[in-house]
Structure 1
Amino acid sequence: MSLSSQLRMALSSSRYLLSHHVLLAHQAGMAVSIGVQPGPDSLFDEPLRMRVSGLSPLQPVTMKAWLRDEKGQLFHSLAFYRADGEGELDPALSPSLGGHYTGIQPMGLLWSLSPQTPFTRLVKRDVASSPFSVHIQVFDGHCSLEQLTHQPLATATNQRWFMKKGVSRIPVREGRVRGTLFIPPGKGPFPGVICVNEMQSRLTEYRASLLANHGFTTLALAYRYHAHLPEDKLTLDLEYFEEAVKFLQEYPKVKGPGIGAMGISKGADLVLSMATFLPDVLAAVVINGCITSAVLGLRFKNELVSAGLGYTMSRMLVADSGVADIFEVINRVNKDSMMPIEMAEGTILFVVGEDDRNWNSKFFAVEAIKRLEEHGKDNFQILSYPGAGHYLEPPFFPFCYASYHAVAGVPTRWGGNAKAHSFAQEDLWPKVQEFLRKSLNQ
């Protein structure tokens, strides 16, 4: 080795040792801390502002977030950052240089939370008594999850609640109606909204509870697998949903004359049916829904409205990973099988994830709008999101690539990419509230 090469190596080594000692001295003199706004407690759909202080100028760090769901399943995320010249770090101003996401993403640590157990979707079951505890940590250097064995420089915790103080939660068993009612604090009355979720084994309340925080009296409505409702019924009765509409409409804390309804997946086509046949439904939010009754039949006033759009499981594709793609499984919809949505007296908001792999939500929405326009109707709006998949949740729910499908019986792809899907969730939530307020306050 030449003398000049030896000198260069020595100089490089001294610079490393000097910067390392400066780092240690800086950390010894000023503790690293994480500030979280609006504070240690927040609502789940509320954005966080995270700031790290006490770092060395330009120090490379890894930010990590993690939580455990109610079954103990671990979700975690990380991103690589570099402090500014003052030793400060603000993810709202500084880009992630790698990890689970890149670029300036203020809430990236939350929407990129990934399950340690594959095909696990984050679902909140108990909305009343416990939050999700999100732990935020900062580590020295850029490290993978496997390399994060040393102690963090700083830790903070944010308790993310689903009901704000003063919201009432009331289990409902009224006639045939089963579900949970959420009432905002205050005198009221408030606009009333029925929330109908996808077809699954139990009632979920998180969407209804979060909406109630924003001034709506909401009913999370069960229609199967809950409180003695029929579990094996292949044809649903729309009169059950009519009873739910009348129950909410007549509730003292609900502002009339009509109500709204919001649904996703199977819940979306039920909401579309409600808007079609029940004139008191003045606003319908249809999130990635079908334009006829999917899978299950639908009956109203002793007449069969729809026999239930069937599916052909042989068209399912299964990757080597075991994840299924069921995009082609659902049978084709023809005009004769479509719901007569031109009968709807209220306004319909179609929400589309353009990369939905559960079924062709974009096609369904386009065909629905064609039918409305053919009948001279203009009582509709559409929000269509490129790169978004099927499960469009309230904001900051982690992107779910694949999870167990109740009908297919295997893990399936939901479509979308994390960044575009998460943007869609954040953009959609206030627009849904605006649509419901405008439609129900007329």
Structure 2
Amino acid sequence: MLRGVSCLAAGLLKASYSYTLLSRSVTLSVSPEIGLADEKLRITVQDLTPKQQVTLRAVVVDDQDCLFDSCAHYEADSNGTVDLHRDPSVGGDYTGVLPMGLLWSLSPSIIEKPFRRLEKKSVHESPMVMEILVHKGHMDPKAIPGHLVTKKEIKRLFCAPGVRRIRLREGAVRGSLFLPPGEGSFPGVIDMFGDDGGLVEYRSSLLASRGFAALALPYFSFEDLPPAMTEFHLEYFEEASKFLSQHPKVKGPGVGVIGTGKGADLALSMMTFLPRVVATVSISGCCANTAAKLTYKDVTIPPLAYDLGRVRVSERAVFDVFDALDDPLDPANSQCLIPIEKADGQFMFVVGENDQNWKSSVYAHIAIDRLKRNGKSNYTLLTYPGTGHRIDPPSSPFCMVAIDRVLGVPILGGGEMKTHCQAQEDSWQKIQDFFHLHLR
């Protein structure tokens, strides 16, 4: 239930949809009906007539009351069954055999403003409530749906039962610490995102659900932290790493860091200068410091500059910032590079080869070349063709274009739905394996 009504009811009231329930004999099975948000679903429809055409839909209302939906066209087999693990979608928002396609293709409804990203904000208070629906015939994805055959509500959890969430005001450190159930101790991981700012918890809560003590660490635009990215002091991040490594539920002595976008180059800097950080995952990051200067004790790393004159704007007013960042290999920018060769811990670089937000694949290879030139082999590279910028945990919907919260404009992220979402599934397990290996 969502604010006293089901997720579907909230969406239907908002959209003024009208359904007609044609049959109660058709069986829709979704497994698990209650499960973690990174789990795969098994969806089958039985007791249809042979070769019957149906449209399957997913509907969810996010924490800001925005309606997201998706649809796909299927045809029952000779026994009247549709199995999404076996049968291809022949139309709708995707085609082909994609068992998780209904979740991967979720996007703002036609009645909503475009380019919003489906993200769970209140990860600990409530699950994400979603409904899977079966409609008669093949309907246009943008048409008002009708002729409802059957439906089922499911719940996607971002915190496993027993996971504890502790809001932090520990010295200067702000954020949320998620602890797995049990006595522990657990490998500790600091989790950071990009230049949208604020507190982002959904990856940390899922990491805790998988056995990590995970600290969701904001670094601007949250509580009494700086409102904008004007300057970064690595002492703040050092305090966070010290707090986590000394927590009684954390194995220690070393901790890991995972970062996306701007959070990724901060993660590289933490690995380089902070001895408590021994394993780092950089997702779609840069090999140089970006956005604002970084200071630590007597060290200052200037930011790699942006040239707004290189930003392109499409006819749909989508901003392409791919070429806006200066070349980190230009000798004039040598002071902006993060000296990762000084680090003794282990790096993992996760990049999409179709990242249109910036050249993360190029930046990863620059970083790796720097390690190699200094006799280092302490790195793993995961590179994914057809994959865009924001590589999230599995089942996160694909979002080629998303509104930037700071700039307030839609930014092109790149990628293609199938390959991008497959990369999310593959990298998620490998990231966990990486941390388990190096945070013993």
* Same fold per superposition (TM over 0.5): yes
2:93 touches 2:105 (CA, 8 Å); kept in 1? yes
**Distance in 2 between the 1:257 and 1:42 partners?**
33
| Pair 1:115-2:108 in alignment | yes
- Counterpart of 1:42 in structure 2 is 35
- Counterpart of 2:320 in structure 1 is 325
| Pair 1:376-2:365 in alignment | no
- Counterpart of 1:287 in structure 2 is 283
| Pair 1:366-2:365 in alignment | yes
* C-alpha distance 146-317 of structure 1, shift in aligned 2 (>3 A): closer
- Counterpart of 2:11 in structure 1 is none
What is the TM-score with the length of structure 1 in the denominator? 0.91
SS of residue matched to 1:257: coil
- Counterpart of 2:310 in structure 1 is 315
User: How far apart are residue 221 of structure 1 and its match?
Assistant: 0.6
| Pair 1:86-2:69 in alignment | no
**Distance in 1 between the 2:143 and 2:177 partners?**
46
- Counterpart of 2:234 in structure 1 is 238
User: How far apart are residue 300 of structure 1 and its match?
Assistant: 0.2
Counterpart mapping for 1:352-431 below 5 A: 352-406=351-405, 408-431=407-430
2:24 touches 2:150 (CA, 8 Å); kept in 1? no
Q: Which has the larger radius of gyration?
A: 1
- CA offset digits 1:359-393 (Å, max 9, x no partner): 10011000000000000000000000001000101
Matching residue within 30, 42, 53 for 1:60: 53
SS of residue matched to 2:369: helix
User: How far apart are residue 145 of structure 1 and its match?
Assistant: 3.2
**Distance in 2 between the 1:183 and 1:396 partners?**
23
User: How far apart are residue 43 of structure 1 and its match?
Assistant: 1.0
User: How far apart are residue 234 of structure 1 and its match?
Assistant: 1.4
- Counterpart of 2:200 in structure 1 is 204
Q: Which amino acid aligns with 2:58?
A: A
**Distance in 2 between the 1:146 and 1:288 partners?**
32
2:197 touches 2:219 (CA, 8 Å); kept in 1? no
**Distance in 2 between the 1:242 and 1:28 partners?**
61
What is the TM-score with the length of structure 2 in the denominator? 0.91
- CA offset digits 1:42-73 (Å, max 9, x no partner): 11111111111110011111111111111111
SS of residue matched to 2:285: coil
User: How far apart are residue 201 of structure 1 and its match?
Assistant: 3.8
- CA offset digits 1:255-291 (Å, max 9, x no partner): 0121100000000000000111112211100000011
2:197 touches 2:218 (CA, 8 Å); kept in 1? no
- Counterpart of 2:25 in structure 1 is 31
* C-alpha distance 100-248 of structure 1, shift in aligned 2 (>3 A): same
* C-alpha distance 154-233 of structure 1, shift in aligned 2 (>3 A): closer
- Counterpart of 1:161 in structure 2 is 157
**Distance in 2 between the 1:128 and 1:272 partners?**
29
- Counterpart of 2:4 in structure 1 is none
Matching residue within 95, 101, 106 for 2:99: 106
2:48 touches 2:81 (CA, 8 Å); kept in 1? yes
* C-alpha distance 232-107 of structure 1, shift in aligned 2 (>3 A): closer
1:30 touches 1:54 (CA, 8 Å); kept in 2? no
Q: Which amino acid aligns with 2:40?
A: P
User: How far apart are residue 308 of structure 1 and its match?
Assistant: 1.1
- CA offset digits 1:308-348 (Å, max 9, x no partner): 11101111100110101000111111344311100111100
SS of residue matched to 1:362: helix
User: How far apart are residue 233 of structure 1 and its match?
Assistant: 5.2
- CA offset digits 1:398-417 (Å, max 9, x no partner): 11111222454421100101
Indicate the percent of aligned positions where both proteins have the same amino acid: 46
- Counterpart of 2:264 in structure 1 is 268
Q: How large is the Cα RMSD of the aligned pairs?
A: 1.5
1:288 touches 1:390 (CA, 8 Å); kept in 2? yes
1:387 touches 1:416 (CA, 8 Å); kept in 2? yes
1:390 touches 1:416 (CA, 8 Å); kept in 2? yes
Aligned residues: 413
**Distance in 1 between the 2:380 and 2:302 partners?**
28
* C-alpha distance 389-28 of structure 1, shift in aligned 2 (>3 A): closer
SS of residue matched to 2:341: helix
**Distance in 1 between the 2:217 and 2:298 partners?**
22
* C-alpha distance 96-212 of structure 1, shift in aligned 2 (>3 A): same
**Distance in 2 between the 1:378 and 1:135 partners?**
47
1:287 touches 1:350 (CA, 8 Å); kept in 2? yes
